[in-house]
Amino acid sequence: MVQRIKKWFHRPTRLESHPTERARRRNLLPSSSSYFHRLTEEEERKLAKRFEGKLLLRREIPLSDPQFNDLLRHQLFTPHPSFIKTIFQTRCKRCNNDKPSLLASFPCAKCCRTHLYCRNCIMMGRVSECEVLYEWNGIRYQWPTLLNACTWKGVLTPAQEKAANLVKKAIADKSEMLVWAVAGAGKTEILFPGIELALSRGARICIATPRSDVVRELYPRIGQAFKNVEVEALYGKKKNKDGTAQIIIATTHQLLRFNEAFDVMIIDEIDAFPYHKDRSLAFATNRAAKKASAKIYLTATPRGDLKQKIRRKQLPHCFIPIRYHGHPLPEPKLVADFSLSKRLTNKQLPKSFIRWLDQRERKTRQLLIFVPTIQLAEQLKVETAAVLLLKKLIKDESEVAFAHAEDELREEKVRQFRQRNIYCLLTTTILERGVTFPSVDVVVLQANHDVFDEAALVQISGRAGRAKDDPDGEVIFIHDGKTEALVDAVHAIKKMNLRAKTFYTKESER
C-alpha cells in the first residue's frame, strides 16, 4: 500500500497536539529507526480510510513488518490486549465473550507456552492471548459529502413513503427506530431516502444482517441505487474483506472487526437467528456503530422482546402491513396428512402433496419446498424429481436441487433457481427469509416440526407472491398435528392482511 520512502513532514495528529508529545516525537523519530517512513498527508489519509474504526489482529493488517512497526512507533496504531482479565472473569476483547466453555487454551508453538484463545469468534480467525488488537490512532478520515447520491428512479408507495420519512427523521436525529414491514413490503427502498440524507452529511453507513444470502442479495440492489458511492459487501466466504467503503453491507459476524465506525447502523432481519441468540453479535453491531449514531431495525416478524418495547413505547416504530404491489399476503392453507411421517421416513413424498400438485392454479410457478432437516431434503430429492418428471413439470432430474446451511454450492443453487434453471428447490429454514424469487409456490413438509416456529412460518409464507404480475402464489403447510406455531402464524398473517385493508381505507379517507 504505502511503499515509497519520503520525507517526514510534521503534521499534528490528534495525539500529537500535546506539546510534550510533539517534542518527544521530533527528537525521537528521525534517528531511532533504520527503516524510516515519512508519511505524506495523502498517505496517512489512505491508511486512515483503511484502518479507522476497526479492531484488527496483526495478520489482518496487510503491511510489511518494518512499515507496521514504524507506524506503531509513531503511535498511529494503539495496541489493546486481546483479553480483558479481572479476578472473576476473562473476556475476549474482540467479541466480548466471557463464557468459560468458549474460552480454552492451547500450547502455542510460537511462544512455547500454553495460553488462552477465544472459541466464540474463532471463525473470524483465532484471537489468542499472545496477540494484540490494533486500533487506528492517526487522523480521522473525512468521508465525502455526497449530494443527491440516490440513483434509484422508482416511486415509493404511500405506505413506503410514510416509513421512509420516519427513517429519514431517525437518521437526522441519530436516534433509534424499528420498521416493521411484512415480507414483500419493499423494505430496501424505504431506506433509500434516509441513506441519501446520510450521505449528504458525509456519514458512513452499515447495513447488517445475520445471513450471508441476504448480504449477497442486498449488495447489487444497493449498488444500483447508489451508483456513484463506494459499496462493499462483507461475508464469511468473500475473499477481500478490506471494509473500506462508505456503505458496508455485512453479516453481523463481520462487524466484530469494527469499532465505532458507522454513523448509521441499519440492522435487517433483527429477529433472525442467530442474532437473537448470540449475545456477541448484538455486542458487535453496537460497538461497530459510533456512540452518536442512528440505529434502524428492520423486521417482518418482531419477536416478543421487540413487541414489548413497542407496546411500552420504548422504541419508536412504523408498521407497514401491505406489500409494495398492494396485494395481501398469501394465506397459508393447512393440510392435515396423517400418513406424513410414515411417508417421509420411507423417503416418499406425502400423498397430500402429490394430490395438491395436480390441483395447483399455475404450474409455471416454481416450487420452493421447506423440510425440517438437511437429511430429509437430500433424501427426498430423488423422489421429488421422479414425481415431477412423471407429472411432466420438469424435463430433467437436474431441475430439482436441495440447498442447506453448510452447502458449498448454496449461492450457486439459489442463483440457478432465480434464473429458473432449477424448477424445484428443497431447502431447510436457511432460505426462509431475505431471498426473493418472483413467482413461486411454497410448500412446507412437516410444518408442525419444532424448527418451524411462528416467525419462520410467517417468513416462509412471505416467499410467495412477490412479483407484481404474479402477486398470489400458493402456500401449503402439510402437517400431521396442528401446533401453536402453525395456528399463530396463520392468525398473524390474517391479522396483517386485515390491518392492510384498514390501512388502505385510512389512506383513501385522507
Partner 1 sequence: MNRCLWCDEAIVNQFDWLTFFTGGEHQLLCEACLSQLETIRQPVCKKCFKMSNSKRCTDCKRWERFFSGDDPLEKNVSSFRYNEFLQEMIAKWKYRGDYVLGSVFEREIKRAFKFHYHALLKEAVIVPIPLSKSRMDERGFNQSEAIAEMATDDRKKIVQLFERIDDEKQAKKTRAERIFAKNPFKLLKTTNKTVILVDDIYTTGTTLRHAARLLKASGCPAVYAYTLVRG
Binding site for Zn ion (CB under 5 A): 92, 94-95, 97, 118, 120-121
The answer to whether 237 contacts partner 1 (rule: CB under 8 A) is no
The answer to whether 275 contacts partner 1 (rule: CB under 8 A) is no
Nearest-approach distance from CB 273 to Zn ion, in angstroms: 17
**441-473 residues labelled b (16+ CB within 10 A) or e (exposed):** bbbbbbbbbeebbbbbbbbbbbbbbbeeebbbb
Interface characters, 125-164, with partner 1 (x: CB under 8 A): xx-x------------------------------------
Using alpha carbons, list the distances in angstroms from residue 356 to 466, 468, 475: 21, 24, 11
The answer to whether 105 contacts partner 1 (rule: CB under 8 A) is yes
Report the residue number, 46 or 279, with the smaller CB distance to Zn ion.
279
The answer to whether 119 contacts partner 1 (rule: CB under 8 A) is yes
Among residues 104, 336, 386, 409, the one that binds partner 1 under rule CB under 8 A: 104
Q: Which helix H or strand E contains 91, and what residues bound it?
A: strand 90-92
Whole-angstrom Cα distance, residue 249 to residue 232? 6
Whole-angstrom Cα distance, residue 357 to residue 390? 11
The tally of CA atoms less than 13 A away on the side-chain side of residue 44 is 24
* Interface size with partner 1, residues (CB under 8 A): 18
The answer to whether 451 contacts partner 1 (rule: CB under 8 A) is no
Whole-angstrom Cα distance, residue 54 to residue 204? 13
The answer to whether 110 contacts partner 1 (rule: CB under 8 A) is yes
* 3-state per-residue secondary structure call for 121-169: CHHHCCCECCCEEEEECCCCCCCCCCCCCCCCCCCCCHHHHHHHHHHHH
Q: Taking a C-beta distance cutoff of 8 angstroms, is the pair 330, 461 a contact? A: yes
The one-letter amino acid code at 46 reads K
Task: Please report, as residue ranges, which positions from 397 to 436 form the binding site for partner 1 (by CB under 8 A).
Answer: 406
Nearest-approach distance from CB 233 to partner 1, in angstroms: 22
Nearest-approach distance from CB 106 to partner 1, in angstroms: 3
The answer to whether 334 contacts partner 1 (rule: CB under 8 A) is no
Phi and psi of 391, rounded to 5°? -85, 5
Query: And the C-alpha cell for 366?
Result: 416454481
Report the residue number, 126 or 309, with the smaller CB distance to partner 1.
126
The answer to whether 102 contacts partner 1 (rule: CB under 8 A) is yes
Among residues 9, 35, 106, 338, the one that binds partner 1 under rule CB under 8 A: 106
Nearest-approach distance from CB 410 to partner 1, in angstroms: 14
Footprint on this chain of partner 1 (rule: CB under 8 A): 99, 101-102, 104-110, 117, 119, 122-123, 125-126, 128, 406
